A and B are shown apart, each in its own frame.
Chain A
Amino acid sequence: MREGVSPLAQLKKSVVKAEEGEIYDVELSEDLLKANQRLAEENKRLLHENGAKAIDIMGAIGSGKTSLIERLVRLLKDRYRIAVFKGDLTTTIDAELIARHGVETVAINTGKECHLDANLVKKALQRLNLRIINLLLIENVGNLICPAEFPLGSDKRVVVVSVTEGPYMIIKHPFIFMDADVVAINKTDLTKPMGVDVKKLEKNVKTINPKAKVVATNCRTGEGVEAVAKALGL
């Protein structure tokens, strides 16, 4: 954590002289989760200085995050200069799917971590020429728990939840939905075979987070994707 002894540390050491064997009480207030939040703020500032905004796309494994990004890229690539960060534990399979649409794509392999963090995004930002992009889409690792704890510096957060995850996915993970600006309820073509009521899912989101905008999507056909873009102000 620390490299060498800082001047401030030296100063503290020279001022406070406790006697041998005395109990020394140190008051601190450093928040360990704030370190990530600070880096996230730096990422956001860097993007804004370069005239770019960022959207973080979260959701469970297989909910359709990559499909939504592919659809958003196809829809928006004439209006925006887009780059995509694709978070996964390993492989560039999804990143290649996205890159096929002709947008700059950086694969972020977390190795074993179950979420992206602001530091990984900061490193990925160094690979981009920020002057030539104005929209960054960041796909988080598939997970409905940990990404809520680690903001990345995005302007808006989307959660993708698919009807194939069953009727209770939203109420089981309230905290990630509290963080969402837009919720895409995906795979609506499978509503009937799954016996899931999209209206009920929408109500669950609205109960937890009345401000979140909810859009029903089918990212295979592109249905609802324009509404997602609109809800994001794109």
Chain B
Amino acid sequence: MHEFSITSQIVQNVLAEAEERSAKKVTEVQLVIGKLTFLGLEQVRFAYEALTKGTIMEGSNLVIEEQEGIVQCGNCGYQGDFKYEDDPLYHVPLPTLKCPKCSNTVTITAGKECTIRNIKMLV
């Protein structure tokens, strides 16, 4: 939903890092984007291409690693994927905060991140 503003922040941060190191060119940017964010990867790529034009990031390789959603149960210690409710009506399985093992309520521990993990640049 907010790909353009988030990608604009990503580009600004990368350019600032590149400037600090007097880089001539940025060749690759690696991002980690959680599956529970509302960021569409296709839109991120589109915004990235548009926003890097005319900068030292133009033409750089954008690598996006997706982080699965992970939940943890405070009751039985379960850690892993959501429990999904499956119903033909839902079209895709409905994620729930119910522990798949003990039905207690779980908390989300991963899947909401949007991180610049690595930048490769030519100096």
Interface, chain A (partner B; CB < 8 A): 1-2, 5, 9, 12-13, 16, 18-34, 114, 145-146, 148-149, 168, 171, 174-175, 178, 207-211
Pairwise interchain contact A31-B113, C-beta atoms closer than 8 A:
yes
Residue pairs across A and B with Cβ atoms less than 8 A apart, 21 shown, are A1-B13, A12-B20, A24-B21, A24-B121, A25-B118, A25-B119, A27-B117, A28-B116, A29-B115, A32-B6, A32-B13, A32-B114, A149-B37, A171-B89, A174-B94, A174-B96, A175-B36, A175-B38, A178-B95, A178-B108, A207-B98
Which residues of B sit under 8 angstroms from A23, Cβ to Cβ?
27, 120-122
Interface, chain B (partner A; CB < 8 A): 1-2, 6, 9-10, 12-13, 16-17, 20-23, 27, 36-38, 85, 89-90, 94-98, 103-105, 108, 112-123
Given A24-B122, A31-B113, A207-B85 contact (CB < 8 Å):
yes
Which residues of A sit under 8 angstroms from B90, Cβ to Cβ?
171
Pairwise interchain contact A21-B122, C-beta atoms closer than 8 A:
yes
Instruction: Given contacts A24-B21, A27-B118, list 5 more A-B pairs with CB under 8 A.
Output: A1-B16, A22-B123, A23-B122, A114-B1, A210-B97
Interface of B is mostly: mixed
Q: Contact partner of B13 among A30, A178, A209, A210, CB < 8 A?
A: A30
Shortest Cβ-Cβ A-B pairs, 4 listed? A211-B105, A26-B119, A18-B123, A1-B12
Which residues of B sit under 8 angstroms from A178, Cβ to Cβ?
95, 97, 108
Pairwise interchain contact B9-A28, C-beta atoms closer than 8 A:
no
In the complex, residue of chain A having the shortest beta-carbon distance to the beta carbon of B27: A23
Which residues of B sit under 8 angstroms from A148, Cβ to Cβ?
38
Q: Contact partner of A146 among B1, B12, B21, B97, CB < 8 A?
A: B1
In the complex, residue of chain B having the shortest beta-carbon distance to the beta carbon of A13: B20
* Shortest Cβ gap from B108 to chain A (Å): 7
Pairwise interchain contact B94-A30, C-beta atoms closer than 8 A:
no
Give the interface centre of A19, A25, A178 by most chain B CB atoms within 10 Å. A178
Which residues of B sit under 8 angstroms from A209, Cβ to Cβ?
96-97, 105
Pairwise interchain contact A210-B117, C-beta atoms closer than 8 A:
no
In the complex, residue of chain A having the shortest beta-carbon distance to the beta carbon of B5: A113
Which residues of A sit under 8 angstroms from B108, Cβ to Cβ?
178
Pairwise interchain contact B1-A145, C-beta atoms closer than 8 A:
yes
- Distance of A23 Cα from B98 Cα, bound (Å): 47
Q: Contact partner of B117 among A5, A18, A28, CB < 8 A?
A: A28
Pairwise interchain contact A171-B9, C-beta atoms closer than 8 A:
no
* Shortest Cβ gap from B93 to chain A (Å): 10
- Distance of A16 Cα from B22 Cα, bound (Å): 11
* Shortest Cβ gap from B117 to chain A (Å): 7
